[in-house]
């Protein structure tokens, strides 16, 4: 049996020449961010490179389901205009779209598709994106369709966990025990109000126990102090649990889940996107606000390279029932449109490349000034260089189905 991954404590220095050769001089920063960091950071110029523990992740043995997964470089796109009627999401067409996307992706029926990715003993985490509810968050109907598929093939409801980073956002988006009986609804952390109610008797964040101090993403020299976009260090700590150079993974990922289905939303963040890789890159760890300015999209590659995600992420379903082409990643109603599309891939980097190109085309169509600098997709090519996915559009097998 494979031993659980633990991060190595120590010096994770990287040869400077090797670093630039891998990433290029302009690969560090792109994209606006959620929870207090200005969207203008999306187009900021790169800062000097920061050393991380990516080499530690890459040295760990790869599991049988490791990225890019069952179908490297394959992306299925299913569109059905009947999925939205007079502004309402229609459950039955959505269910059929999800099913069709899965079977087109695997080339097998629904039962065999399940067997290729799961066993009935797995504990499956459904990583939703509740930001911008109810307008532009992961739709409950998409999650319903996935739950129906999993349980129809023998996975007990008690083995399904709907999760995200923030408790209040999950509730606001409708992910409650009452709506999903028999399932676990779990957040990695709470976020308090302006008072100190988020601190325990010892003065620590009440969510500290939810994070695994043995499994972390290290950004050397980037501490959670005086972080741009947060009015003070106390407010930053409220939202991020810890200060310092370490972003710890949730214990849910390191100790409980055996498989992950990633369910992001089709939306932009500046001239980049906030979809499959960002939903996990910034949703699986704490202490993230400090990472935006020096690293931004690079985090979306390196966090997914960690064995606790890389070896468990078996399916990505991007919810494009509604899309948002500008003003993201927070909701902005004037830029939201009915898209009636579902995407499926085991390879989140190929998926994000297709979606990035499509949302860029939509932005141009709508008259948005677009910056097409390579830094907005360089993190996807970085992932390809690490063997985590396919980023070259010419090598991506893009299947489009219209119902």
Q: In this predicted structure, what is the pLDDT of residue 38?
A: 40
Q: In this predicted structure, what is the pLDDT of residue 191?
A: 83
Q: In this predicted structure, what is the pLDDT of residue 319?
A: 98
Q: Alpha helix (H) ranges present in 12-160?
A: 16-23, 54-59, 91-106, 110-117, 140-152
14 in a structural domain: no
What is the per-residue burial (b if ≥16 Cβ within 10 Å, else e) of 195-205?
Answer: eeebeeeeeeb
Compute the average pLDDT of residues 82-95. Answer: 97
What would the pLDDT profile of 217-259 be if each residue is shown by its tens digit? Answer: 999 999 999 998 899 999 999 999 999 999 999 999 999 999 9
Long-range contact pairs involving 164-169 (C-beta distance under 8 Å, separation at least 24): 164/127, 164/128, 164/129, 164/130, 164/188, 164/283, 165/189, 165/250, 165/282, 165/283, 165/284, 165/286, 166/130, 166/190, 166/191, 167/191, 169/130, 169/131, 169/133
Domain count, the chain: 1
For residues 25 and 34, the model is more confident at: 34
16 in a structural domain: no
Adjacent-strand bridge partners of 109: none
Name the pLDDT band for 4 (thresholds 50, 70, 90): confident
Q: In this predicted structure, what is the pLDDT of residue 21?
A: 32
What would the pLDDT profile of 291-327 be if each residue is shown by its tens digit? Answer: 999 999 999 999 999 999 999 999 999 999 999 999 9
Q: Answer yes or no: are the C-beta atoms of 263 and 128 closer than 8 Å.
A: yes
Q: In this predicted structure, what is the pLDDT of residue 22?
A: 35
Residue range of the domain that includes 164: 35-329+347-402
Compute the average pLDDT of residues 374-388. Answer: 98
377 in a structural domain: yes
Compute the average pLDDT of residues 341-368. Answer: 98
Q: What are phi and psi of 164, to 5 degrees?
A: -160, 180
Q: In this predicted structure, what is the pLDDT of residue 49?
A: 78
Q: Answer yes or no: are the C-beta atoms of 124 and 257 closer than 8 Å.
A: yes
Of 35-49, 115-129, 303-317, the least confident: 35-49
Q: In this predicted structure, what is the pLDDT of residue 18?
A: 36
């Amino acid at each position: 049996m494979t031993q659980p991954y633990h991060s190595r404590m120590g010096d994770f220095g990287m040869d400077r020449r090797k670093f630039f050769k891998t990433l290029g001089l302009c690969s560090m920063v792109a994209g606006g961010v959620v929870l207090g960091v200005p969207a203008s950071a999306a187009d900021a110029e790169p800062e000097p490179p920061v050393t991380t523990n990516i080499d530690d992740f890459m040295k760990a043995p790869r599991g049988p389901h490791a990225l890019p997964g069952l179908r490297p470089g394959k992306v299925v796109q299913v569109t059905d205009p009947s999925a939205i009627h007079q502004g309402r999401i229609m459950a039955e067409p959505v269910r059929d779209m999800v099913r069709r996307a899965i079977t087109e992706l695997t080339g097998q029926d629904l039962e065999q598709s399940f067997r290729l990715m799961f066993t009935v003993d797995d504990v499956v985490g459904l990583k939703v994106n509740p930001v911008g509810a109810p307008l532009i968050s992961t739709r409950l109907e998409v999650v319903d369709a996935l739950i129906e598929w999993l349980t129809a093939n023998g996975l007990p409801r008690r083995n399904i966990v709907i999760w995200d980073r923030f408790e209040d956002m999950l509730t606001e988006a409708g992910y409650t025990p009452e709506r999903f009986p028999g399932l676990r609804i779990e957040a990695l952390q709470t976020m308090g109000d302006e008072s100190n109610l988020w601190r325990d008797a010892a003065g620590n964040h009440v969510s500290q126990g939810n994070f695994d101090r043995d499994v972390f993403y290290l950004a050397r020299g980037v501490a959670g102090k005086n972080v741009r976009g947060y009015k003070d260090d106390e407010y930053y700590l409220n939202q991020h649990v810890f200060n310092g150079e370490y972003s710890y993974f949730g214990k849910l990922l390191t100790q409980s889940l055996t498989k992950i289905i990633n369910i992001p939303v089709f939306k932009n963040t500046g001239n980049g996107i906030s979809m499959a890789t960002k939903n996990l890159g910034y949703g699986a760890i704490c202490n993230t606000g400090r990472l935006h300015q020096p690293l931004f999209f690079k985090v979306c590659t390196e966090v997914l390279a960690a064995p606790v995600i890389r070896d468990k992420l078996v399916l990505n379903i991007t919810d494009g029932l509604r899309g948002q082409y500008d003003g993201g990643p927070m909701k902005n109603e004037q830029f939201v449109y009915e898209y009636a599309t579902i995407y499926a891939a085991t390879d989140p980097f190929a998926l994000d490349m297709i979606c990035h190109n499509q949302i860029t085309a939509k932005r141009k169509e709508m008259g948005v000034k677009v910056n097409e600098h390579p830094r907005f997709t360089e993190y996807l090519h970085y992932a390809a260089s690490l063997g985590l996915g396919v980023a070259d559009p010419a090598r991506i097998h893009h299947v489009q189905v219209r119902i």
